[in-house]
């Protein structure tokens, strides 16, 4: 019975795949690194017969982890494999050990974007690489690609994807407005502590970086606002003037790219826009300082 239940759980997880989860729902868990087989073995004619990776673009601590689904062909019934995540310069940033993998049965790996040192991986292109454990880390060899005999239209092997640390927070048309919306612009009695990004009211907002919701509420100047303590960073990020209170409450976990509300003009605002702040450690009104978010926003905007 336990076997049957385990089978069902595996099926449900596989069906969900890397699909976006509803706001507030945790994404499917990442794969564990595992441990190598003490006596690794693999078929002498090991091949990679299929490989697909989705999504092609992911975000650190995001709602969709990069996921590889692959199938091997082998002369052996059980194969001890290693699946590496390789960066653009060919360096392995994370390895997963998969023991006793059968040929012609799909296996999958879901990577959470952390390196083997448990640090967020840097922005860039990555690729999964499947190898036999007995090949040894010193002499890695990619499995030879195979195609069904006589077929020229085999599914191409898809192993590469991009990973980014941050998402652009507005899902829709936007612009960075004029000088008055810049960080440091003069205001009555203070200076502007964020960057205004102009967008229509109702445009969806997502977390640029997931983490823990530090504040979610209403304040006279900020209107409906939310502050998120970015996971794996020293930054807190604030999103102000939301049309409605964010569905997220203080203390909740939010993932990169997860909806946090929509653009509005609540509080001290004369047009629909997102007022976005980035604060250094130890955090927003906890002793940190606001920094100019525009270079960050422009960078995120260029790829997401």
Give the C-alpha distances (Å, rounded to integers) separating 56 from 82, 126, 243, 295. 21, 10, 32, 25
Task: Decide if residue 67 touches Zn ion (CB under 5 A).
Answer: no
**Cα dihedral 7, 65, 227, 260 in deg (nearest 10):** -70
In a 13 Å sphere around the CA of 268, the CA atoms on its Cβ side amount to 8
Q: Are 250 and 213 in contact (CB under 8 A)?
A: yes
Quick one: which segment of 26-34, 46-54, 246-254, 272-280 binds Zn ion (CB under 5 A)?
A: 272-280
Task: Decide if residue 275 touches Zn ion (CB under 5 A).
Answer: yes
* Ordered strands of the 124-132 beta sheet: 57-59, 160-164, 124-132, 79-87, 92-101
Quick one: which segment of 110-118, 203-211, 267-275, 280-288 binds Zn ion (CB under 5 A)?
A: 267-275
Q: Alpha helix (H) ranges present in 146-241? A: none
> Rounded CA gap, 153 and 23, in Å?
39
Task: Decide if residue 277 touches Zn ion (CB under 5 A).
Answer: no
State which residue, 248 or 274, has the beta carbon closest to Zn ion.
Answer: 274
Q: How far is the CB of 210 from Zn ion (least distance, A)?
A: 23
Quick one: which segment of 76-84, 87-95, 257-265, 275-283 binds Zn ion (CB under 5 A)?
A: 275-283
Residues 6+ apart with CB under 8 A from 172: 199, 200, 203, 204, 263
How many chain residues are in contact with Zn ion, going by CB under 5 A? 2
Q: Which of 37, 84, 112, 196 binds Zn ion (CB under 5 A)?
A: 196
Q: How far is the CB of 255 from Zn ion (least distance, A)?
A: 25
Task: Decide if residue 174 touches Zn ion (CB under 5 A).
Answer: no
Q: How far is the CB of 178 from Zn ion (least distance, A)?
A: 12
State which residue, 80 or 196, has the beta carbon closest to Zn ion.
Answer: 196
Name the residues that contact Zn ion, by CB under 5 A: 196, 275
């Amino acid at each position: 019975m336990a076997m049957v239940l385990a089978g069902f759980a595996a099926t449900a997880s596989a069906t969900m795949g890397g699909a976006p989860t509803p706001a507030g729902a945790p994404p499917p868990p990442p794969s564990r690194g595992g441990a190598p087989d003490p006596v690794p073995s693999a078929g002498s004619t090991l091949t990679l017969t299929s490989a697909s990776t989705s999504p092609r673009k992911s975000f650190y601590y995001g709602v969709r982890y990069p996921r590889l689904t692959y199938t091997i062909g082998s002369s052996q019934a059980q194969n001890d494999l290693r699946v590496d995540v390789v960066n653009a310069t060919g360096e392995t940033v994370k390895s997963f050990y998969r023991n006793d993998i059968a040929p012609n049965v799909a296996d999958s790996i879901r990577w959470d974007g952390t390196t083997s040192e448990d640090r967020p991986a840097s922005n860039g292109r990555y690729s999964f690489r499947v190898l036999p454990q007995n090949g040894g880390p010193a002499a890695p060899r990619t499995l030879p690609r195979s195609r069904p005999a006589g077929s020229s239209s085999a599914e191409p092997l898809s192993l590469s994807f991009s990973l980014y640390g941050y998402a652009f927070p507005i899902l829709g048309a936007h612009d960075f407005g004029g000088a008055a919306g810049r960080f440091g612009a003069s205001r009555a009695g203070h200076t502007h502590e964020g960057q205004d990004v102009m967008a229509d009211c109702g445009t969806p907002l997502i977390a640029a970086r997931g983490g823990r919701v530090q504040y979610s509420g209403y304040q006279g100047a900020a209107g409906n606002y939310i502050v998120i303590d970015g996971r794996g960073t020293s930054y807190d990020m604030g999103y102000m003037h939301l049309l409605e209170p964010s569905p997220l409450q203080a203390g909740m976990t939010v993932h990169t790219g997860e909806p946090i509300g929509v653009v509005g003009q609540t509080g001290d605002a004369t047009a629909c826009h997102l007022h976005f702040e980035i604060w250094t450690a130890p955090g927003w009104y906890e002793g940190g300082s606001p920094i100019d978010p525009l270079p960050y926003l422009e960078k995120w905007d260029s790829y997401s």
